[in-house]
Structure 1
């Protein structure tokens, strides 16, 4: 019976170096959005504080990154076009750096094989990039486009390990659901609590053999 196979994105499908910190984020915003550094620093503090507060509360909905950034700039009399905000986030989160992200080939191969066998493949990510930029990054990293649905928390809504996030991405008439991710705390344990099968990926040595065995591939 075909299953819903849900892949975590970062450190499962896409490997990442540590993300830029507030100082680098501030520098990038100041340059891309032509802001003075004081204003850029205030905006970064506002956005990071709101996101981190939501991340610290498992049941809190994550606020949309674009909305936070837009509101913080408008409050300081520095509104910018959406395209400029997207450019700032793209650069601030290292997407323009060719060494920041890399495709996990074993996970990509497992993704292709699962889809070819008739399973429904989906992607979920706790992230800071809005969905359109996440899709752009995944395309740039050559993540196989065999998924039929995504859930990116930076667009606003529940996030892992909230059961609501798993129920959303797992919607459909499936007898079996499989979560593939790197984090025991936010990927594996909450999915298992809902009765899903789980496969943990070690970012230091990704091996998807357990998933292939589980799906008889």
Structure 2
């Protein structure tokens, strides 16, 4: 029975170190965007304050990280090219550090096996990196390119655990929908409430036996 299987990204498919603090973000913005430290600090406070406030509200739409960054700079009379803003976020969020992120091999193998068996694979991630940078990160880590759709919330819109995010990523004529993730609150509970099958994995070392066994059930 063909199904759609949605994988969470961080701590499921992609392993990562904890994000650094605001001092690091400020330093990266100052260096990459040639800002003075005071201006960079104000921008970081504005951008991440807005994102964190949205994350704390389960039903709030997540604002676009790039949109927030552009607006905060414009308010201070600073304008930068979109490519420069992306590069600043790439550095600030660990993309330039080859040891900050790693591929979870068992999850990658499960993605390949499910796609080969005729199931649809998708990604759903609450994130701070815009979609273009998420795709850059996934390519660098060699995440299998077997997914046909991804929802990266840093582009703006609904986020987990909002049902709207799950309905969007689960669109299609599927008889079964499955959510695979590490968070009971963000991944498992909201998907189960919509009638999906769910597989919770241990962050960093998922056992996908339960996932692969789903298709043995009636």
User: TM-score, structure 1 length as denominator?
Assistant: 0.98
User: 1:152 matched to which residue of 2?
Assistant: 152
**What CA deviation, in whole Å up to 9, does each residue of 1:112-154 have, x standing for no partner?**
0000000000001000111111011001011000000000000
**What CA deviation, in whole Å up to 9, does each residue of 1:148-173 have, x standing for no partner?**
00000000000000000000000000
User: 2:192 matched to which residue of 1?
Assistant: 192
- Alpha-carbon offset, residue 205 of structure 1: 2.7
- Alpha-carbon offset, residue 214 of structure 1: 1.1
The answer (yes or no) to whether the contact 2:17–2:100 under 8 Å persists in 1 is: yes
| Gapped regions of structure 1 (runs ≥ 5) | none
- Alpha-carbon offset, residue 20 of structure 1: 1.6
Structure 1 segment 1-217 matched on structure 2, within 5 A: 1-216=1-216
**What CA deviation, in whole Å up to 9, does each residue of 1:28-82 have, x standing for no partner?**
1000000000000000000011001100111000000000000000000111000
Whole-angstrom CA distance in 2 between matches of 1:205 and 1:48: 30
Aligned positions, number: 216
Whole-angstrom CA distance in 1 between matches of 2:198 and 2:38: 46
Whole-angstrom CA distance in 2 between matches of 1:136 and 1:204: 21
| Gapped regions of structure 2 (runs ≥ 5) | none
Whole-angstrom CA distance in 2 between matches of 1:103 and 1:204: 9
- Alpha-carbon offset, residue 21 of structure 1: 1.5
- Alpha-carbon offset, residue 204 of structure 1: 4.3
The answer (yes or no) to whether the contact 1:114–1:215 under 8 Å persists in 2 is: no
Spell out structure 1 runs of 4+ moving beyond 3 A.
none
Whole-angstrom CA distance in 2 between matches of 1:204 and 1:13: 8
Whole-angstrom CA distance in 2 between matches of 1:171 and 1:22: 37
Corresponding residue SS for 1:215: helix
Whole-angstrom CA distance in 2 between matches of 1:144 and 1:108: 6
Whole-angstrom CA distance in 1 between matches of 2:77 and 2:87: 19
The answer (yes or no) to whether the contact 2:12–2:204 under 8 Å persists in 1 is: no
**What CA deviation, in whole Å up to 9, does each residue of 1:192-211 have, x standing for no partner?**
01000000110143211111
The answer (yes or no) to whether the contact 2:15–2:204 under 8 Å persists in 1 is: no
